[in-house]
Each structure stands twice: as structure tokens, then as C-alpha cells.
Amino acid sequence: MAGNTITKPSDLSCTPSRAARELGLKRGDFDLAVHLGRIRTMPDEEGGGRRVTRAEIDRLRSAPEFPDSLVESVRTVGTTDGAALMEVTSARFTRLARLGLVVPVKFYLNRYRTVVWLYLAEELKQFAADKNHTSLLNGRTPEHLRDQLREGLDLRPRNWRGRHLGFLLHQAADPWERAGALAALLDPVQVSEIVQDPYERAHLNRFRPDPPAHGAPGSAAAHLAERLMTADDPDEIGWLRADLTQVLAEARSHRPAPRPSGELAVPRPTAEVPMPWPTAEATPPRPSLSERRSEPTPPEPDPTPNAEPTSEPERSRGMLRWLRRSSA
């Protein structure tokens, strides 16, 4: 009977790989579309990762000019093709990218282990069409910007991290996941300074996403990808630390980190300030006069505990002999 038909979860949603095939996207382009918010996903109730609902697939397939419009919205280009789209030289395009005027959306490592940055073609077209950017595309680069380039300014890694963090925060379901996203961009030493409780730190690491996969784990390519994922600018590190401190306070209120039964939490400072180190001059507070009077006076220790007790006459005769020798 139709009224007794049981609808399986797999009938209402599908895996990302299946969704990519139905939408005419390569798996990498599908992941980018999810990162950009073009495709909505939902968590799998059975813990198998994220899924795409049939309703979301139907919505995308009903859009005008499908699938070309969806494919074009996630098309990425490198420096050469990006410069051609904007009708500038590759050198000028690279300067614009280093100055942070065009922002990469992802990267890969070529066979020479060189970072190749990729940009959304759609965004580059919009940048070139903006009349406010005409002087940047055709004119002479302002002197203060040339000075920054000569000093080695390159905002491509930082801008990519900011974009990637936005995706991670968008996908986070609770404060602990948001804290894990922020911690993913900080060096572990920075995180340990903020999260001093080892049980909290272990719990936080469960929500810390891995960097994008590039090469086998432990390879030079993987280390390079991890380095690009880690903030290195003092200003960037400062606001990441401040945000992590704030989100951690929300996470503790939302759900304290699990710990063994009976284990007390490590006290945490209320503000992110350096903890004072004990000094040699530090002494415990002295008790008050009334407290000292109420304490029993301890007996004075015997200076020669192993010696036999000496009688009073013997001590007197010894003193007299000493006086006679001194006056002689």
C-alpha cells in the first residue's frame, strides 16, 4: 500500500560524488561550489559526512542555462589565463594578486613543488569591468604600492586563508567547531598558549579540520600545504588569537570539554595576559600578630643531638679555665 511505503534517507539525499555527477561537475569543482555556497549540503544523520538533498539538486537543475551556468560559476584560472581575461600582462596580474586586489580561491602544487594559485574567472571579469579599477589595469602602479611590492608583500596566502576560514565557519554547527576552524589556522604552539587545559586542547583538536590534501601525509608537498594553512603575519595571528579566545568562552558555556570523572578543570585566566612567573623574592604572607600568639612556641633544637648532656658544674669549670688562659 502506498500509505505504508517507507522512505529511505538515501531516497531524499545523495552523496557528494553522486550529486556531482548529476550536476555535471567534476568532484573538485563540486567541492568548490559547496565552499562558495552555490550548493547547499546537510550533515548525514548516520555520521557518514555531508549529503545533498534531492530538493537541492532539483533546484539547481531547474536554473536557466543549466548546467553551463553552474559550471561557469566555479571555473578557475591561473595567472596566464587570468591575465588574458583581464587583458593585462601576467606580470601586472601577479602584482595585483600580491597586493590582494584579486583573491585566489584555491591552489595546487605542480611537479616542481611550486604553489600555483587559482582564481574564479567570474570574479576576474567583474574586477576588470569595474571602472574604478581602470588605472590599476592600464595606468602606472602608485608609488606606495610599488614600495610594498619591493619590500616583499604577498597577500595571496593570507587572503586564501581568510576565504577558507569563511567556508569552515559557514559549515560549523556549534561553537566547538568554530573554535576548531580558527585553531586550524594557528600554529599548535599558539593554540597551547590560549588553551592551557590539556583536556580542552584534546577536545578542540577533534574539531580542527585538516589542511587541503596535497601529496601523501608527511611528504614535502603536504608540509608545504600545512605551512600555507598556518597564519604567519603578526596582525593576522593577533586577530585569530582574539577570535579563538572569544569563541572558546562560548564553547565552554555551550558544552564543557569532557574530562575523567573527578578531574578538576585547570583554572583559566579571564583575559589573555601573560601569567606571572614565581620569583625568588616571593614569600608566603606572614600571619597576623594574633595568629602568631595563638601558635605554640616550638622547642629549640639541641645543637648537638648526639652528645651526652653536660652538667652545670662541668660547664662552669670549663669556662674558668678558658678565662685564665685568655688573661695569661
- Is 200 found in the same domain as 222? yes
Query: What is the domain count for the chain?
Result: 3
Q: Which spans in the chain are helix H?
A: 9-12, 16-23, 27-35, 54-61, 68-73, 79-86, 90-98, 121-129, 134-138, 143-150, 156-171, 175-183, 188-194, 198-205, 220-229, 234-254, 289-294, 312-327
Which of 230, 254, 278 is the C-terminal boundary of a domain? 254
Which of 101, 121, 154 is the C-terminal boundary of a domain? 154
| Euclidean distance between CA atoms 59 and 108, whole angstroms | 31
Query: What letters, b where the CB count within 10 A reaches 16 and e where it falls short, cover 44-81?
Result: eeeeeeebbeeebbeebeeeeeeeeebbeebebebbeb
How far lies 74's CA from each of 13, 35, 57, 123, 134, in Å? 22, 10, 16, 10, 25
- DSSP letter (8 states) at residue 131: G
How far lies 179's CA from each of 264, 267, 278, 318, in Å? 22, 19, 31, 80
- Determine, yes or no, domain membership for 102: yes
Q: State the pTM of this model.
A: 0.74
- Is 141 found in the same domain as 80? yes
Per-residue pLDDT tens listing for the chain (328 residues): 445 544 455 568 999 999 999 999 999 999 999 999 999 998 887 766 789 999 999 999 999 999 999 999 999 999 999 999 999 999 999 999 999 999 999 998 888 888 999 999 999 999 999 999 999 999 999 999 999 999 999 999 999 999 999 999 998 989 999 999 999 999 999 999 999 999 999 999 999 987 777 767 777 778 888 899 999 999 999 999 999 999 999 999 999 999 887 565 554 544 444 433 333 333 344 444 344 344 444 444 444 444 444 444 454 455 545 545 554 5
For residue 311, what pLDDT is reported? 47
For residue 263, what pLDDT is reported? 60
- Is 215 found in the same domain as 172? yes
- Determine, yes or no, domain membership for 259: no
- Is 235 found in the same domain as 203? yes
For residue 318, what pLDDT is reported? 54
- Determine, yes or no, domain membership for 260: no
- Is 103 found in the same domain as 34? no
For residue 196, what pLDDT is reported? 94
Query: Which residues constitute the domain of residue 172?
Result: 158-254
Which of 42, 57, 73 is the C-terminal boundary of a domain? 73
- Is 243 found in the same domain as 162? yes
In the sheet with 106-109, reading across from the earlier edge strand, the strands are 76-77, 115-120, 106-109
- DSSP letter (8 states) at residue 213: P
- Determine, yes or no, domain membership for 319: no
- Is 238 found in the same domain as 173? yes
- Determine, yes or no, domain membership for 277: no
Contacts of 160 (CB under 8 A, 6+ apart): 103, 104, 105, 106, 107, 117, 228
Name the 3-class secondary structure at 219.
coil
- Is 171 found in the same domain as 130? no
